[in-house]
Amino acid sequence: MTAKPLSDKNRENHDVEQIDQGPSVLYIDRHLIHEVTSPVAFSGLERRGLSVFRPKQTVATADHNVPTTDQHLPIRDMLSRSQVDKLTENCGRHGITLYGLNHPFQGIVHVIGPELGLTQPGMTIVCGDSHTATHGAFGSVAFGIGTSEIEMVLASQCIMQPKPKKMRITVDGKLKNGVTAKDIILYIISKISASGGTGYFIEYAGSAIRSLSMEGRMTICNMSIECGSRGGLIAPDEVTFSYLKGRDFAPKGRDWDHAMDHWKSLQTDEGATFDLELGYDAADIEPMITYGTNPGMGMRISAQIPDGSSLAENEKPSFYKSLQYMGIEPGTPMLGRRIDYVFIGSCTNGRIEDLRAFAGFVKGKKKEENVVAWIVPGSRQVEKQAREEGLVNILEEAGFAFRQPGCSACLAMNDDKVPEGKYAVSTSNRNFEGRQGPGARTFLTSPLTAAAAALTGKITDPRDLL
């Protein structure tokens, strides 16, 4: 038998058929939906007179456009409310489980899947959201889909997928103090660009990746799309299994033993070939920050912003347009730059470990008075845990307000918008123009670097305060 990468083996286990000179029909184990990208899929289904083929394999939550305060009240924005109502109606009609606002399991779709044990090794998982790659941290093939594909899954539990090329990114060595999973992925994207992974499915490997918790691994896989790759995975190991054990929807008893037999076999074969292999030394990674308007425009926090002189002529206009939007002079430093907002949250860094890191950093200190900080837990369970662990008290004493779960300022569909021209240090995943509000300017960082900025009101190397 030929040696194969794990992602190929997972895919082959789910191949219903291969269309001649076309895509393969891929069976989907787990389908996650939310209020923004699903309504048109349901109306398409109904126009064809179809019902949902396998309603038990779809789980819904409301996260993208929900408010992060006063969630017990009716949603004020009428359009947002109508989307959330539509989701409730569609789920009710088709027998789909919904963890809506105020349900103890509600939260960002990519936070709740793993924390409920819905995400398991070897599965195929899709969602109408490009950060579905997050679930790849468990060794599953997980990727974002469009609304037409949501309709396909609802109708047939399958989608059509061409086979992607394979890339393996190996990060070996020991991470420096103050360097987190977020810095690893921002570093990788800065090396290969915002489009370097397009057409590939990534496997992350190496001792530095292995040393990460599940939360850290999720942060890495989550941002695979920011280099253009639809998905990325990490082979499961003891860290994965102990994270899953006992979770609400993880297998129990004999089913667990049976699942473990399968999960332990989920590894890339020795000698498997990839279309592209990249390797990095963990010791070369420092706290990272983005300075431009795509996630590939990132650098070490202590570096100077590039002056663009080394770029090809056709790349220069987009580069200078980007810096102009950011209000940044080429060739200047990032350290010491004034900031206005700090956002902790999102499917990238809204998990309990992120809140622990942030709270641990600001404990006993005070938020700089001019900084507006939004601390948004990724789910109700994260919120509850943060209260139980005393993190909320620590944050409040340091001058930070704790909000309710949702996607929030990551995409600013709700009221959590950074005003025009203001600078936000954000633990989310995209620094696109207007992403955090029309005219808003985003610097992407780890929770530690965001914490340092919240305390000083300036871009600050977190290691200076550790």
E runs forming strands in 46-164: 58-61, 97-99, 124-127, 141-144, 158-161
Q: Which is nearer to another protein, 230 or 380 (CB)?
A: 230
Q: Which is nearer to another protein, 231 or 350 (CB)?
A: 231
Q: Which is nearer to another protein, 305 or 453 (CB)?
A: 305
Q: What whole-number distance in Å separates Cα of residue 182 and Cα of residue 218?
A: 10
Q: How far is the CB of 241 from another protein (least distance, A)?
A: 22
Q: How far is the CB of 13 from another protein (least distance, A)?
A: 8
The four Cα atoms 295, 299, 301, 307 give a dihedral, to 10 degrees, of: -110
**Cα separations (Å) of 120 from 212, 245, 322, 339?**
18, 11, 39, 40
Q: How far is the CB of 447 from another protein (least distance, A)?
A: 22
Q: How far is the CB of 24 from another protein (least distance, A)?
A: 10
Q: Which is nearer to another protein, 136 or 164 (CB)?
A: 164
Q: How far is the CB of 451 from another protein (least distance, A)?
A: 26
Q: How far is the CB of 134 from another protein (least distance, A)?
A: 13
What angle in degrees, to the nearest 10, is found between the helix axes of 39-47 and 78-94? Answer: 50
**Cα separations (Å) of 212 from 84, 139, 331, 385?**
35, 14, 34, 21
Q: Which residue's structure tokens are 């994965």?
A: 240
Q: Which is nearer to another protein, 22 or 271 (CB)?
A: 22
Nearest one of 63, 18, 60, 66 to 41, comparing CA atoms:
60
H helices of 204-252, in order, are 207-210, 214-222, 238-244
Q: Which is nearer to another protein, 17 or 261 (CB)?
A: 17
Q: How far is the CB of 281 from another protein (least distance, A)?
A: 28
Length of the chain: 466
The four Cα atoms 284, 287, 293, 295 give a dihedral, to 10 degrees, of: 60
Q: What whole-number distance in Å separates Cα of residue 90 and Cα of residue 50?
A: 13
Q: Which is nearer to another protein, 124 or 456 (CB)?
A: 124
